[in-house]
A and B are shown apart, each in its own frame.
Chain A
């Protein structure tokens, strides 16, 4: 493994590959710093730029954007009280009060250092854990893959930010969209409505660009012109050694929390940052100061949300099950570049996998340097008005979708997805389950039908194999967890009621 890792490091340190990671990190910080622009959207928009690139720099650039974007969200969270990404929402609790006290520089510095350390920790876990997981998964047959894919889909549906039911409907629609085109097993076309373009199925990339980026353009149009005034001067970026030592326990705790939550297929970064913040507060000696502007309150969520990035890549690479919305888009990019994530990726494309590991490690190091060095510059990005950015994003959506096959049909798919994504968001639906369903749909169908063929149409096969039972039990637990949680809460409420009276 060490040899392959060194080979990966050697690949990523080639000047052009290094440049790709640098571009990814800087784009990520910029996208993350702008409220409304999120990592999945950034990755979806950057994919067209990677079409002509080699596999390693292409994927590393996207992964670097993911890492940089997660950190970038803290810039606007600290400076203007508007989290650049949902994962930075918890950073506003103490980051903004720190900025109001004139300590914006220190808050940005702490956010950068803790994000970098959290990210590096999670990459080490990724390097150690992903190959082991892949080795276990290589023994999986179609029933296990079916159960695993259903589990992955159910987790993001049940743990998503909004209604469980709506997320499940979104996931089902995504899986349905994956059935459009030629059926791999019978050769018949489905839902092509006579269109030759639809015979090949619906391409992930235009749908992703539409749902994440074009829908955001229409949402920004709804909000109208937004300008951010920034009157705080940023000075003294580096926290003192003493201040870093004070939060070392928080850094370690949040790294562990973030990595673990990232591994679970769900909206990793956001959940991780809130838990990271709560746990930092629970264990802190200065608990009462949380919310008033304290560096520990920035370190907790920022370490956790960046630690979730490496964690989320573990199931994505080893099992082919994305750990978050952004990794679902990265999984789509891997497919575009001719690689199917899963255990075989570690055998067929070991050089790429270890290149990605090295690239992700490098990305975290780069944003530590770039983030600290360029904090003042990046803070000015928050000032860019949305009326300048939004038309540019729409143009990138169009040219990016067109570039996939040099075909206007992809632009139409993107535009329709954008309108659908915008309308769905209005009614409380989230784009991530649809994308996840679309990405996992083929795997779910093929593994289900293969299982039925191999085991003579016996539907009980899924309940006779240990791993398959485990994943289905976890699926049931994931689906019913909101119900179980509310039942427990109601019981607790009833128990406490007489005492309160």
Chain B
């Protein structure tokens, strides 16, 4: 709700058109949608309070689950940041090894096979066939 209110406030910073008297302004439609979204969110909050429910009865994650989920998110983030510096294909290789290790996979052959074949697949399909230029970085 707060987020929606902030976005609504931001709409007042949009410049006004010289034709604003005859035409709807750039802020008109986002405001309509945000008011609608705020109204619906308010109903949802009230309904949850009346029914004494937390949002969808969500119970939270256990420690290991948290580690895997946030670890996977962190690895994806690290990939997006690191690919530019060390190169996309090396990053793909490292991402797969790190992710499978994070999940607790012990089969080294499986890890190595997936880690080698995936960058190869990406290279053949995307770089050679679809001619996509990935960041090379200082490695590859």
Binding site for B on A (CB under 8 A): 48-49, 51-52, 165-166, 168-169, 172-173, 175-176, 179, 183, 185-186, 188, 190-191, 214, 217-218, 221-222, 224-225, 387-388, 390-392, 394-395, 398-399, 402-403, 406, 408, 411-412, 415, 418-419, 422, 426-428, 445, 448-449, 452-453, 457
Q: Give the distance in Å from the alpha carbon of A207 to the alpha carbon of B90 in the complex.
A: 25
Contact A51–B130 (Cβ < 8 Å): yes
B135 touches A408 (CB 8 A): yes
B77 CB to nearest chain A CB (Å): 7
Main secondary structure of the interface of B (DSSP, over half): helix
- Please determine whether A415 and B77 come into contact, CB atoms closer than 8 angstroms: yes
5 contacts between A and B (CB under 8 A): A172-B40, A185-B23, A188-B26, A222-B61, A428-B55
Q: How far is the CB of A449 from chain B (nearest CB, A)?
A: 5
- Which residues of B (91-140) have their CB < 8 Å from a CB of A? 92, 95-96, 99-100, 103-105, 110, 114, 118, 122, 125-126, 129-135
Please indicate the chain B residues that have their CB under 8 angstroms from the CB of A172 in the complex.
33, 36-37, 40
- How close is A166's CB to chain B, nearest CB, in angstroms? 7
Chain B neighbourhood of A183, CB < 8 A: 26
Measured CB to CB, the closest approach of chain A to B35, in angstroms, equals 10
Establish whether residues A222 and B80, one from each chain, have CB atoms under 8 Å apart when the complex forms: no
B-side contacts of A390, CB under 8 Å: 99, 103
Give bound CA distance, A394 to B68, whole Å: 14
Interface residues of B (CB under 8 A from A): 7, 10-11, 14-15, 17, 19, 22-30, 33-34, 36-37, 40-41, 43-44, 47, 55-56, 58, 61, 64-65, 68-69, 71-73, 76-77, 79-80, 83-84, 88, 92, 95-96, 99-100, 103-105, 110, 114, 118, 122, 125-126, 129-135
A453-B23 contact in complex given A179-B29, A190-B14, A392-B114, C-beta closer than 8 Å:
yes
Contact in complex: B58, A427 (CB < 8 Å): yes
Known: A49-B125, A222-B68, A427-B55. A391 touches B22 (CB 8 A): no
Count A-B contacts at CB 8 Å: 152
Q: Are B105 and A387 in contact (CB under 8 A)?
A: yes
Q: Which residues of A contact B104 (CB under 8 A)?
A: 224-225
**Is chain A's binding surface mostly helix, strand, loop or mixed?**
helix
Across the interface, do A214 and B76 meet the contact criterion of CB distance under 8 Å? Answer: yes
- Nearest A residue to B24, CB-CB: A449
Bound: A168/B84 CA distance, A: 39
Q: Nearest Cβ in chain A — how far from B17, in angstroms? A: 5
Residue contact A398 to B76, C-beta cutoff 8 Å: yes
Cβ-neighbour of B100 out of A222, A387, A452 (below 8 A):
A387
Minimum CB distance partner of B117 in chain A: A392
The 3 closest A-B pairs by CB, nearest first: A428-B56, A172-B37, A183-B26
Whether B84 contacts A408 by the Cβ 8 Å rule is yes
Contacts of B37 in A (CB 8 A): 169, 172-173, 176
Instruction: Given the known inter-chain contacts A176-B33, A399-B88, please indicate yes or no for A394 contacting B95, CB distance below 8 A.
Output: yes
A221-B103, A388-B114, A415-B77 as given contacts; A52 in contact with B130, CB under 8 Å: yes
Using CB atoms, name the residue of chain A closest to B103. Answer: A387
Give CA–CA (A51, B76) in the complex, Å.
24
What CA separation (Å) do A177 and B62 show in the bound complex? 33
Bound complex: CA A439 to CA B71 (Å)? 32
Name the one of A166, A214, A428, A445 contacting B29, with C-beta atoms under 8 angstroms.
A445
Do the beta carbons of B58 and A453 come within 8 Å of each other?
A: no
Q: How far is the CA of A34 from the CA of B127 in the complex (A)?
A: 28
Q: Which residues of A contact B22 (CB under 8 A)?
A: 453, 457
**Is A427 touching B56 in the complex (CB atoms < 8 A)?**
yes
| Cα distance A403–B104 in the bound complex, in angstroms | 31
Q: How far is the CA of A221 from the CA of B33 in the complex (A)?
A: 34
Contact A186 to B23, CB < 8 A, known contacts A214-B76, A392-B114: yes
Please state if B134 and A191 are interface contacts (CB–CB under 8 Å): no
A188-B80 in contact given A49-B125, A179-B29 (Cβ < 8 Å): no
Report the Cα distance A391→B117, complex, angstroms: 12
Q: Which residues of B contact A449 (CB under 8 A)?
A: 23-24, 28-29
Which of B27, B72, B114 counts the most chain A CB atoms within 10 A?
B72
> In the complex, what distance in Å separates the CA atom of A5 from the CA atom of B57?
52
Residues on A with C-beta less than 8 A from B105 are: 225, 387
Other-chain residue from B29, B30, B44, B130 in contact with A169 (beta carbon distance below 8 A): B44
Q: How far is the CB of A447 from chain B (nearest CB, A)?
A: 11
B92–A395 CB distance below 8 A: yes
Q: Which residues of B contact A453 (CB under 8 A)?
A: 22-24
A448 to B103, CA, bound (A): 49
Measured CB to CB, the nearest residue on chain A to B62 is A222
Contact across chains for B30 and A224 when beta carbons are under 8 A apart: no
Pick from A218, A395, A403, A448: contact of B130, CB under 8 Å = A403
B44, B114, B130, B133: the one within 8 Å of A391 (CB): B114
Whether A224 lies near B65 (C-beta < 8 A) is yes
